[in-house]
Amino acid sequence: MKAVTITSVISLLAASAVSANPTLIKRAAPKGIDVSNYQGVVNFNAAKANGISFAYIKATEGHTFIDPDFSANYIAATNAGIIRGGYHFAHPDSSSGATQAKYFIANGGGWSSDGITLPGALDIEYNPSGAECYGLSASAMVSWIKDFSNTYHSSTGAYPVIYTTTDWWTTCTGNSAAFASTNPLWIARYASSIGALPAGWSFTTFWQYADSGPNPGDQDEFNGDMAGLKAIAKG
């Protein structure tokens, strides 16, 4: 099973710009949402009719929490014909990266080369209930993320997408560039432009640009066209 890497994504994005028609037509980047039990069970048929092409759905958190609405939302998105994947909210202070990757995979976060499943996403960001960097040094945080990422890749054949903010990444990993060649980036920035990216990444694959909008959950955009999005799901 071929891994989804930044190199392959770059090739896909470049290929999507080539057309047999000499007149290049700018296509709107596919829109998506990310949801959790906070939104409840989402009407994905309505979301698709309202322009949504992909979704990330919360599966797990730490090594003890399974989102109670994950299964219903994942099935609903699948039935609506939406390209979808699961995400894991990391708690680097509670257990190892490998432990949490295995928990994520066992509870809906896996990946298969079927053209409709996005690589699982590691949501690594501000601690909602304690120290911003979970009490870890920058080097320890980088090691934890590598442990999660390598375990996920060994099991599924794909590297996980990394969801973060430039501020958190700079503060808590020392602005590590260690993942830019392997892991697609999903940056969160609620503004009219993406702004500076973490070290190593020259572009972001996904952009979470708002926490509310015309569809439930956070609002996202894919950096490419539908062919590129489908290719990432295929691997």
pLDDT of 10: 42
Which residue ranges form the domains of the chain, and what is each CATH number?
Answer: 6-234 (3.20.20.80)
Q: Which long-range contacts (CB under 8 A, 24 or more apart) does 204-211 make?
A: 205/9, 205/161, 205/232, 206/32, 206/161, 206/163, 208/34, 208/163
Mean per-residue pLDDT, 93-117: 97
Please state the pTM of the whole predicted model.
Answer: 0.89
Mean per-residue pLDDT, 19-26: 38
pLDDT band for 17, please (50, 70, 90 cuts). very low
pLDDT tens digits, one per residue of 84-95: 999 999 999 999
Measured between its terminal Cα atoms, the distance across the chain in Å is 8
What is the percentage of the chain residues whose pLDDT exceeds 90?
A: 88
The rounded distance, in Å, linking the Cα atoms of 13 and 5 is 12
Residue 21 pLDDT exceeds 60: no
Catalytic center residues:
34, 123, 125
What is the percentage of the chain residues whose pLDDT exceeds 70?
A: 88
